[in-house]
Every structure is written in C-alpha cells, then in structure tokens.
C-alpha cells in the first residue's frame, strides 16, 4: 500500500526565521568567525530585507554565500557545538499553523519529511527536536573535520525535486494524496508535485508562480499567519498591491 507523506520546508515555513542566520550570529558570539563578516557584508543584505527594500529569495542567496565564505576553514567541532546551541535556544520559534500540521500528520500516520535549504547539521537537529525521522538539508562538505567551502545545495527547486524522487522511492509514497508546505520559489516544484500544496506566508515570487500555473493554482491553499490569527485563502482571492 502506498503511503501519504507531508513535505515541509523549514525556514519561513516551519521556523519563523532562518536557522542559518541564527547560526551565523552564534558563530560570531562565540568568536569563531570574524564579526566583520556579518557587520560588513551580511547585515547590509539583512537590513535591505528587514526594511522591505529587497527580494527575500535574493537576500537568502546572498546571505548563504557570505555564510559559506565565513565558515570555510572552521572545524566541525565548532560548527556542531554552535549548531546545538541554536537548537537549544531557538528551535521553538515556529509557526503555530505548521507545528499543528506536523502533529496532525503524525497522528494520521503520515510520513513527515523535512526538505530544507538550511545546513544539514541544523536540519538534522531540528528534525530530532520534532521527532521527524526523514530529512534532507544542504550538505556541507568537510575534509579532515574542517569545512572545505563546498556544498551540495538543497534550497533550489530542482534539488528539492530530486529529494522528493528519493523519498518517493524509499517510502513508496503516493504524491497525489500527499502534502507539501513551502514559502519561497525554491519550494515551487515540491508544491507542484503533490495533490495538496500549501504555501505559508509565500514570498511574492512563489505567489506569482502559483497564480501563473493553472494546475497548481487550482489545488493550492495559501496560509497567512499574523500575530495570533491564521488566514486561509485560495490563490485567486489574493491581490498583490506591490
């Protein structure tokens, strides 16, 4: 018998920020990387997004590039230590909607899977925190326990599509009865593959992707969580002003 799965992005979909950003700050706090890597580079990208003067997807890609450069040459032990610190202190900063959906999927006997662009050492710990046994994150490559500066990304649509293929074969998943949750353009293929796609506080690019794809528009649900209210929309109900 085929199984039903629920694929969850993490940053911006489940977690209410970016695990990579939190880890960046921890690395600075513990004097593992040069603070100028944040204050001289990453903070500019963050401030542009924080003031809503930049594109969210562009901000994440720029931040990832700076983060990788800053982390190159850092020992695995330091990365693992600060990663655990992030999870210990920040892992419960999640959206109420997606937290409740994970619980519902588990109670329903569905296979819950995290597919995230965050570093694999953070995704692994987030999965353990929420008892999610299957996950894929961006792979950070080490040599002699030192980060090499090389990665295998998991934040783009093509990579997430390949990850779904892997899990479909591994668990004999019925995609037509399955669910996916995402918030950026990188989640587009993941949402399109399943029968029940849900976009959580979607970035403008993803919202336009959904509205311009007839098949996805007809079956997608848009969830907006603000303060203590959760709103549900059909894509055609949402009008973008800017």
Q: In this predicted structure, what is the pLDDT of residue 43?
A: 67
Residues contacting 162, CB < 8 A, separation 6+? none
In this structure, the chain runs to a length of: 242
Q: In this predicted structure, what is the pLDDT of residue 124?
A: 97
Q: In this predicted structure, what is the pLDDT of residue 48?
A: 66
Task: Report the alpha-carbon distance of residue 181 to residue 55 in Å, rounded.
Answer: 20
pLDDT mean values, one per 10 residues, the chain (242 residues) = 96 93 92 79 65 67 86 96 96 96 97 96 97 96 97 92 96 98 94 97 93 95 95 89 62
**Per-domain residue ranges of the chain:** 5-237
Q: In this predicted structure, what is the pLDDT of residue 53?
A: 60
Treating both helix axes as pointing N-terminal to C-terminal, what angle do 76-90 and 19-29 enclose, rounded to 10 degrees? 120
With 0.85 as the threshold, say if the pTM is over it. Answer: yes
Q: In this predicted structure, what is the pLDDT of residue 162?
A: 94
Pairing of the two strands 221-226 and 146-152: unpaired
Q: In this predicted structure, what is the pLDDT of residue 240?
A: 74
How many CA atoms does the CB half-sphere of 12 hold within 13 Å? 23
Q: In this predicted structure, what is the pLDDT of residue 49?
A: 62
Indicate the DSSP class of residue 2: P
| Whether the Cβ atoms of residue 184 and residue 18 lie closer than 8 Å to each other | no
Give the right CATH number for 5-237 from 3.40.50.9100, 1.10.3720.10, 3.90.180.10, 3.40.50.1000. Answer: 3.40.50.1000
Pairing of the two strands 179-182 and 196-200: parallel
């Amino acid at each position: 018998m085929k199984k039903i799965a629920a694929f969850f992005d993490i940053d911006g979909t489940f977690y209410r920020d970016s695990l990579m950003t939190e880890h960046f700050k921890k690395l600075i706090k513990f004097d593992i990387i040069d603070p100028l890597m944040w204050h001289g580079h990453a903070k500019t990208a963050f401030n542009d997004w924080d003031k809503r003067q930049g594109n969210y997807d562009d901000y994440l890609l720029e931040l990832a590039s700076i983060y990788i450069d800053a982390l190159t040459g850092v020992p695995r032990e330091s990365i693992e230590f600060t990663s655990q610190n992030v999870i210990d202190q920040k892992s419960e900063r999640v959206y109420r909607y997606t937290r409740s959906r994970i619980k519902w999927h588990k109670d329903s006997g569905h296979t819950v899977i995290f597919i995230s662009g965050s570093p694999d050492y953070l995704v692994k710990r987030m999965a353990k925190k929420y008892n999610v046994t299957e996950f894929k994150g961006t792979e950070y490559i080490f040599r002699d326990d030192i980060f090499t500066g090389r990665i295998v990304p998991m934040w783009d649509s093509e990579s997430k599509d390949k990850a779904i293929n892997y899990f479909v074969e591994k668990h004999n998943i019925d995609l037509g009865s399955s669910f996916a949750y995402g918030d950026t353009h990188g989640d587009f293929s993941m949402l399109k593959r399943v029968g029940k796609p849900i976009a959580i506080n979607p970035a403008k690019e993803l919202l336009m992707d959904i509205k311009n794809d007839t098949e996805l528009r007809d079956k997608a649900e848009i969830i907006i969580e603000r303060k203590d209210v959760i709103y549900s929309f059909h894509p055609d109900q949402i009008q973008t002003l800017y």
